Chains A and B, each alone.
Chain A
Amino acid sequence: MSESAALRVALVGNPNCGKTALFNRLTGSRQKVANYAGVTVERKEGRFAAPSGRHIQVLDLPGAYSLAATSPDEAVTRDVCLGQFEGEARPDLLVCVVDATNLRLHLRFVLELQRLGLPMVLTLNMCDAAERRGIRIDVAKLQAGLGIPVVQTVAVRRNGAESLVQQLDSQMPLLPAPLPEGADLHAEVSRLLLSAVSVPERTARVDDAIDRVVLHPVFGLALLAVLMFMIFQAVFSWAAPLMDGIDVGAAWLGTAVGDAMPEGLLKSLIVDGIIAGLGGVIIFLPQIIILFLFILLLEESGYLPRAAFLLDRLMVGAGLTGRSFIPLLSSFACAIPGIMAARTIQDPRDRLATILVAPLMTCSARLPVYALLIAAFIPQQSVGVFNLQGLVLFALYAAGILSALLVAYVMKWTRRDHSEHSLLLELPSYRLPNPADIAIGLWERASIFLKRVGTIILALTIMLWFLSTFPAPPAGATGAAIDYSLAGQIGKWMQPLFDPIGFNWQICIALIPGLAAREVAVGALATVYALSSTEDDPSGSLIPIIADQWTLATALSLLAWYVYAPQCLATLATIRREGGGWRTVAIAAGYLFGLAYLASLITYQVTLALTAG
């Protein structure tokens, strides 16, 4: 069958009803699925072949409560449904997805969609959850009442979407008869529910019981604090043995390859450049995996919107909104999806504030930098029941969060904004995370990280090796070769600017490739120091070297720098796309650079004064 003859269907429905899970089930993709509203913020396309051989193109859309969009993600869905989305033909068929445990809300949107004049299929998803709650749905009656085919699915179960595939593979359904303009959709939903659905209880009892604790004004906040704290503790204490293993492996590889190769440039490229540079970054894989394990568990459980609920007042006070919580939390992985998730915020000022402070959330690319410096300068000892290194890491993350609140507060104050901002946040049912899904999610994160190591980080590392090796030192030179290289010269040229905050020229060099990928700063330091060492121990790992050569003040200053770390080009590009224009980019880059410099200056000078005595 030719491309153009494919049936084009779009998955439409309220947020969090399982559209993306269904999309993944149908097309075999692995788009992000999580238990809160606003995970999907753009359209995603996939295709599959039905048993008859018919090609079906599927469009996954952001969730929407209604076609009267109130936020940019809802506008995407509206535009696609109306055929007004640029570069996207109107779908041939709408697959309306509803959560079978939440029909009172979701069916109203289905009735609204019937007015679009497109053929429709209704998918009752989460039938497993409905069954557990004792909700009984008379599919035949519902089908007759709505005048469109109704199928039942469990998107998270293997073969759970077979009924939908069969429906799509059979004859195109007839156009639904819409309710007259001005009809009361809510009344119609009530009528349908009365005739076709029996619900023993309006909410799941477990949800109510858990919420009594989790949303409790005192216990709830305490639980949130303990939870966050535990995560950072685990990142350090669980990862240590794995990291030691990788470190030993990289050192062994460096020595083995070094011994097997003749002296010369090629050996230097491979041992000092690639193995030292990449090994220095890969070592942080275990910590990244552990961080994501917790993030994925929290996302899937349904806890995140609760945390947003608890923190809403605090965030409003600072000029943000509870809705900023999830975009900001996503920014702990990477600011780019975080900034895109700000699409779910209705109010444009809140959205802009969220976008501007998102880079202050410590993204996972900064974790290697923190971890390196903490391992080198903070002793591995316990403070009470806590691990000191974990405490420092927690403090760094906290510094980012507090700064974000402060910056947002200043922004709110400068625009003298007293107008109303809305919240309207849905709290989903709790769900037990499925271990297989979590494993797949972790695998995804690990492969994203390793892909970065194999592509951009590798490329930058090789480039840095070249810059640090050429031009070669003049005959009779005494210092290390890197002193005479281009990178050495650039580093020394930059140094006066960074001298007041304690950065030496090696750090200045490492800041440059960090613009493209922050992790590279670590690999770059590894390469620079491997090339600077005059003695013959190229595979020596970075931690003891910097512990030996840097002062505590320099290390803390670099840590403070990375709390603000304005140098991520991809983030700035995303801000331009999502936030509108170069002005916003200039503001973001400018204030981040200013804060980074200021924080490092204070940290450096204070530590210097304290340690001088």
Chain B
Amino acid sequence: MTLSELPRNIPAVVVGVQDVSAGDPIAVRLRELGFVAGEPVRITAHGPAGREPLLVQIGYTRFALRRAEAARVSVKLAEAQA
């Protein structure tokens, strides 16, 4: 599943970021911002039109991403904590 498909307020974990072209600068930047394997991530809000942009909580930081950016990030659902 990609981050752009993740429903709101469902905790997930980053699996990785895919380059859409060679040396994709947006993918590089996403990794620098902390989208790396194992990081907990969550969508906390959507923009008002077309559910875009997405407000993403990663690490201690909130970033606004467009769908196309979020689609580069693959995630898996976090194991439910007992």
User: Which residues from chain A sit less than 8 Å from chain B, CB to CB?
Assistant: 65-66, 68, 70, 101-105, 108, 186, 199, 202-203, 207-208, 211-212, 215, 217-218, 220-221, 305, 308-310, 312-314, 316, 322, 420-427
Contacts and interface: CB of A to CB of B under 8 A. Distances in A.
B46 interface: yes
26 contacts: A66-B32, A68-B28, A68-B29, A68-B32, A70-B25, A104-B34, A108-B32, A211-B55, A309-B45, A309-B47, A309-B53, A310-B47, A312-B52, A312-B53, A312-B66, A313-B53, A322-B53, A420-B26, A421-B66, A422-B66, A424-B29, A424-B63, A424-B64, A425-B63, A426-B61, A426-B64
Nearest to B59: A104
Contact of B69 (A105, A423, A426): A423
Contact of B48 (A65, A103, A220, A322): A220
B10 interface: no
A215 B61 contact: no
A70 B55 CA distance: 21
Contacts of B63: 424-427
Contact of A423 (B33, B39, B53): B53
B47 A101 contact: no
B52 to A, nearest CB: 6
Contacts of B45: 211-212, 215, 309
Interface string B9-38: 000000000000000011011101110100
A313 B48 contact: yes
Contacts of B33: 65, 105, 424
A137 B30 CA distance: 27
Contact of A217 (B28, B48, B53, B69): B48
Contacts of A70: 25, 29
Contacts of A312: 47, 52-53, 64, 66
B7 to A, nearest CB: 15
B32 A65 contact: yes
A426 B33 CA distance: 10
A313 B44 contact: no
**Range for the number of chain B residues in contact with chain A:** 20 to 34
Contacts of A103: 60
Contact of B47 (A104, A313, A420): A313
Contacts of A305: 64
A492 to B, nearest CB: 52
Contact of B57 (A66, A202, A309, A423): A202
B49 A314 contact: yes
Contacts of A314: 49
Contacts of B36: 186
Interface of B: 25-26, 28-30, 32-34, 36, 39-40, 44-50, 52-53, 55, 57, 59-66, 68-69
A102 B60 contact: yes
A220 B28 CA distance: 32
Contacts of B65: 423-424
B62 A426 contact: yes
A215 B44 CA distance: 10
Nearest 6 A-B pairs (CB), nearest first?
A104-B59, A217-B48, A313-B49, A427-B62, A425-B64, A215-B45
Nearest to A221: B48
Given A422-B69, A424-B69, A108 B60 contact: no
Given A211-B45, A309-B47, A202 B59 contact: yes
A310 B48 contact: yes
B44 A211 contact: yes
A127 to B, nearest CB: 15
A420 B68 contact: yes
A212 B48 CA distance: 13
B65 to A, nearest CB: 6
A212 B45 CA distance: 8
B32 A203 contact: no
Contact of B29 (A66, A101, A203, A322): A66
A105 B49 contact: no
Contacts of A420: 26, 68
A304 B72 CA distance: 27
B62 A202 contact: no
A490 to B, nearest CB: 50
B64 A423 contact: yes
Nearest to B36: A186
Contacts of A308: 64
Most buried by A among B32, B33, B39, B68: B32
Contacts of B66: 312, 316, 421-423
A351 to B, nearest CB: 15
A102 B61 CA distance: 7
A203 B47 contact: no
Contacts of A217: 46-48
A103 B59 CA distance: 9
A208 B29 contact: no
Contacts of B62: 203, 207, 211, 426-427
Contacts of A65: 29, 32-33
A102 B60 CA distance: 6
A112 to B, nearest CB: 8
Contact of B34 (A105, A208, A310, A422): A105
Nearest to A65: B32
Most buried by B among A65, A102, A425: A425
Nearest to B25: A70
A257 B68 CA distance: 68
Given A103-B60, A422-B69, A427 B48 contact: no
Contacts of A211: 44-45, 55, 62
Contacts of B64: 305, 308-309, 312, 322, 423-427
A70 B25 CA distance: 8
A221 B48 CA distance: 8
B57 A203 contact: yes
Nearest to A202: B60
B29 A105 contact: no
Given A108-B34, A424-B69, A215 B59 contact: no
A441 B26 CA distance: 36
